[in-house]
Structure formats: structure tokens, C-alpha cells
Structure 1
Amino acid sequence: MRLREIRESQNLSVPKLVELSGVPRRTIQDIEKRGDCLVSTALKLAKALGVTLDELCSEKQD
């Protein structure tokens, strides 16, 4: 899960991503720590970030 990497590359704070996605702050923090989440949550985050689900869920790009 590349959530933190993508969020930071877009200069988005966690509170701003909460606003854009409707996903609770704690959930975003947990996803960034654990690296996994429900597909429904991942879809909301991908849409808010303007990336595909595949881009969001893929392993880190080298």
C-alpha cells in the first residue's frame, strides 16, 4: 500500500485527505502504519488521490 508515499508526493496532509475522501483520520493513520485496508476504503482513497486502485495498492516503485 503506497498511501503515505502518494499522499506526501501530492503535498496532502492527513486532515486534507480526510476532507477529500471522507475516510476517518484514525483509519488513514492505521492504513499508513499497517499497509492494508478494506477494498471499499481503498476505493475512496484512490478516488480522492486521483490514482487507480492498482497504483494505490501496488508495492513501492523503485
Structure 2
Amino acid sequence: MKEAGNFDGSIGTYEKFLQYFDPFRNTLTVPLVIIGLEPPETFKINKETKEVEFLLP
């Protein structure tokens, strides 16, 4: 997802969430909602210009 959508390091992965969640289980007092997204299929973001490029089917 990071590479396909040209996202920075602020995007986490589900695997990292699982790794870090267990030690914080007793500290967290609010419910969490984790949403998984698939990489975009109809567009990509150009790394140099930061413009959206639509992909033809």
C-alpha cells in the first residue's frame, strides 16, 4: 500500500499493529478500530510530481 499509493512512513501495517498491540493491551482504555485497505487499482500517485495518474483498464 505504501508503494502503490506513494504514502510516507506514517502508514502502518497490520503485522506491525499485531506486534505492538500486545504490550500496550493493559494501557489502552478505549476501543480501537483497525481498517485495512487494499492498494488502489485505478490510479497511482507520481512520486516526483505528486499528481494522480489514472490507469486505463
Give me the TM-score of the superposition, normalised by structure 2. 0.26
TM-score by length of 1: 0.25
User: Which structure features the higher share of helix residues?
Assistant: 1
Please state which structure has a larger fraction of its residues in strand: 2
Larger RCO (CA within 8 A; separation ≥ 6): 1
